[in-house]
Amino acid sequence: MPLRLRYVAGVSPAKWLRAWGERRADMPLEAVRVEQHAQADGLATGDIDLAFVRLPIDVDGLDADALNIVPLWEETAVAVLPRDHALADHETLSTADLDGEQPAPAQPDPAMTVELVAAGSGYAVLPHGVARLHHRKDVVAIPLTDAPTTRIALVWRVERDDDDIQEFVAVVRGRTARSSRGAPDETPAANPKAARAAKRATAQRATAKQAAAKRASRSRSRRRGR
């Protein structure tokens, strides 16, 4: 019986699937992208073994102690705007920049939300990975410097824990086949695209803060000169 893995939009598990195939050819891994509610249902019923989720996740009938949760990387929030929007040429935005703007009606399917943005129904705030997955030529995704980030985590049921599960966790964490299960945890092997995006967002936030400080300094200088 294969390991059953489910992952949310914005997660790209291909490199871990390749590593698993090279390491455990004897154990097939079935990976399917699903909505988070389907992950929660599958964990509750035991129909899936592992899930890459976007925290928080609420699993009916299970408390937090019933789940093993390994936090992985953080995702930057982005504002998705029509390409011809007045703010579309900004490198970064703050939530205050969106004051007075009309949000697009949120849809269960993020692709539909982005489609409404493209149609001019308003803006949307999405995790960077989701916006990248549903990118269109007629919209832009701009990092928000002060919006909360989201966290991707690997989750499985405590009662389902076994050597196969732990070996997949080791693959995700970047441990070699020789590493001991009891060895101290290494830094989680984050999605490289997400890691680069997070670095860019950090640099952009720093640039935005510096620009804001310069504007404030110029404003104070003008007031003193009056």
Burial environment of residue 89 by CB neighbours within 10 A (0 to 12, 13 to 18, 19 or more): exposed
CATH class for the domain made up of 3-74+150-190: alpha beta
Residue numbers in the chain where pLDDT is lower than 70:
175-226
Query: Of all helices (H) and strands (E), which one includes residue 6?
Result: strand 3-7
pLDDT of amino acid 180 = 37
> How far is residue 116's CA from residue 187's CA, in Å, rounded to a whole number?
39
Q: Are 66 and 75 in contact (CB under 8 A)?
A: no
pLDDT of amino acid 211 = 55
Q: Tell me the CB-side half-sphere exposure of residue 22, using CA atoms within 13 A.
A: 9
pLDDT of amino acid 100 = 95
Q: Percentage of the chain surpassing pLDDT 90?
A: 72
Instruction: Give the pTM.
Output: 0.73
pLDDT of amino acid 216 = 55
DSSP structural state of residue 184:
P
Q: Tell me the CB-side half-sphere exposure of residue 7, using CA atoms within 13 A.
A: 19
Sheet holding 50-54, edge to edge: 29-33, 3-7, 50-54, 150-157, 67-75
CA triple 171-150-133, angle to 5 deg: 75
Q: Are 104 and 117 in contact (CB under 8 A)?
A: yes
108-135 per-position pLDDT tens digit:
899 999 999 999 999 999 999 999 999 9
> How far is residue 130's CA from residue 139's CA, in Å, rounded to a whole number?
13
Beta bridge partners of 143: 78
186-218 per-position pLDDT tens digit:
434 444 444 454 455 555 556 555 655 555 555
CA triple 102-104-110, angle to 5 deg: 150
Decide whether 3-74+150-190 matches 77-147+198-206 in CATH topology. Answer: yes
Average pLDDT, the chain: 85
Q: Are 141 and 79 in contact (CB under 8 A)?
A: yes
pLDDT of amino acid 61 = 86
> How far is residue 145's CA from residue 198's CA, in Å, rounded to a whole number?
11
Q: Which two tokens stand for residue 92?
A: 């970064």
Looking at domain 77-147+198-206, does it have CATH number 3.40.50.1000?
no
Q: Which two tokens stand for residue 78?
A: 């982005």
pLDDT of amino acid 208 = 55
- Domains of the chain, by residue range, sit at 3-74+150-190, 77-147+198-206
Q: Which two tokens stand for residue 54?
A: 């976007």
CB atoms within 10 A of CB 37: 11
